[in-house]
A and B are shown apart, each in its own frame.
Chain A
């Protein structure tokens, strides 16, 4: 037993060192990389992956394929921008307001919609996104099609306003990590198990005492709140928003990192975002001048290839690959799962006693 405990501790230590190193690389990137363009790509990765994590809570974990996440993001951006420009509120407070408001809107609108199952929910989410966009285009309060700009001024953390991209890089990174930890926590909680049970079978969920509607509404509210936070971040970074933010293509973009990375995993959107967004930017920068649209075509080919040959995503492949076995056993020195389990049980018994 004692050897087992040691082995588990060694594995935990190796794992934290590995994760710590990866984190350190991300923290140090702005120190060495000075190109604003490259930093911009990273900021893009951070907020798009966060948006994709929001989608993944609903799409990957609950099995409700939403195609309206750009609308939540857009509404979050509008709610915070209008509060800042019209009422002069502090941006950080307006972010909180935006999250609560968008969460409420999503909850109220989707509560009756969850009587619908499967593809019908997806259709409603598309309609929701388009309806919101049309509403904003036609409302003078929301600035119609010309959008809303945020005031420029001196750099200030309080006003979340900077000339340089580096502060946005770090705030984006913190947002990404915070939302990742939140999703990880949800996955292992009662709510996470309820959502995955609903994804697999709603009747089976009801049989063990899960109210499917209640948990689906919880998922959509949390998901919309996270998307609203991303909207606030986007607005503060770009400093100008317009209804184009909410077009259907943007919703699809929020789905891609999760699907390519592996929608069954909380880490899926991170892996997918890290690969797909630089790829998309690279194709745009290098090929779009040759033939208009060629970059989109190449992007589509990559996407179709991944979905055709790795339908469970990159992580779905990695989790059952030799590469993972190699890294687990040789690099991290992971003990067999029985040992991990025995040590965990022992530790819990100790806690209870």
Chain B
């Protein structure tokens, strides 16, 4: 079991009409770890992410979850397989309170709450864990970006996932907020959740990920530890700039 990767992506390609967004990408995600995906804007990161999460099927290729083919599963089947995701552009349930946002998630997934008491109690635990407890009665549309990003994570966690996909969860945060978000992701990982994340902030990728995949123009150009990837000459050229010194943008 430990040797089977939790997710295995085999040669996936996505074409939108004439445009090839992702071309023949393969990689795997190790259970229990934190894997990152980086790449310049338009590299196909979110497309890859959405294919793995069932939002649109790949044109070619297959995706396996613990050895089982999930290529054609629908997005709403994923929480029952203990997989949850967040969105790059936050999708809070705007007109519901923060608490209700999380209660809604507690009602679904593989370990769905059976009644309202149970759902509320679990939601309160998750809000305490993610640091949103004090704001639970605010409408989610009235919160700032950092809190909405946290709410995205809280809603995903409420489905009790074993694998969590984070799509640019730190974009738009200041350094202190980024630090707090990194700490939260580390805690989630330590509680036994495998994490796959897309991130632009290098500081986060370097300090969190054990393995990094680099995409460029829809193709995988490198894979390895953050150190290996950052020293790859091609990666430096296309993504981090030609001079190694300017890497920490």
Contacts and interface: CB of A to CB of B under 8 A. Distances in A.
Given A193-B119, A200-B91, A351-B117, 17 more contacts: A190-B107, A193-B100, A196-B93, A203-B87, A204-B155, A206-B55, A207-B87, A207-B156, A208-B84, A208-B105, A208-B155, A208-B159, A209-B76, A209-B108, A209-B109, A210-B108, A337-B137
B116 interface: yes
24 contacts: A193-B100, A193-B103, A193-B119, A194-B107, A200-B92, A200-B93, A200-B94, A200-B95, A204-B93, A204-B155, A206-B55, A206-B76, A207-B75, A207-B84, A207-B85, A207-B155, A207-B156, A208-B79, A208-B109, A209-B108, A210-B76, A210-B108, A211-B74, A348-B121
A348 B76 contact: no
A14 B93 CA distance: 33
6 nearest CB pairs, A to B: A209-B79, A209-B108, A204-B91, A200-B93, A206-B75, A193-B104
Interface in A260-312: 264
Contacts of B93: 196-197, 200-201, 204
Contacts of B96: 196, 200
Interface residues of A, number: 25
B95 to A, nearest CB: 7
A208 B85 CA distance: 8
B91 A193 contact: no
B143 interface: no
Contacts of A201: 91, 93
Interface of B: 53-55, 74-80, 84-87, 91-96, 100, 103-105, 107-109, 112, 116-117, 119-121, 124, 137, 155-156, 158-159
Given A200-B94, A207-B85, A212 B76 contact: yes
Contacts of A206: 54-55, 74-76
Interface of A: 188-190, 193-194, 196-197, 200-201, 203-212, 264, 337, 344-345, 348, 351
Contacts of B124: 345
Contact of B104 (A208, A212, A348): A208
A344 B120 CA distance: 10
A337 B135 CA distance: 13
Nearest to A215: B76
A288 B108 CA distance: 54
A105 to B, nearest CB: 26
Contacts of B92: 200, 204
Contacts of B87: 203-204, 207
A203 B103 CA distance: 17
Nearest to A205: B76
Nearest to B78: A209
A348 B117 contact: yes
Contacts of B85: 207
B121 A196 contact: no
Nearest to A203: B91
Contacts of A208: 79, 84, 104-105, 108-109, 155-156, 158-159
Most buried by B among A194, A210, A337: A210
A230 to B, nearest CB: 28
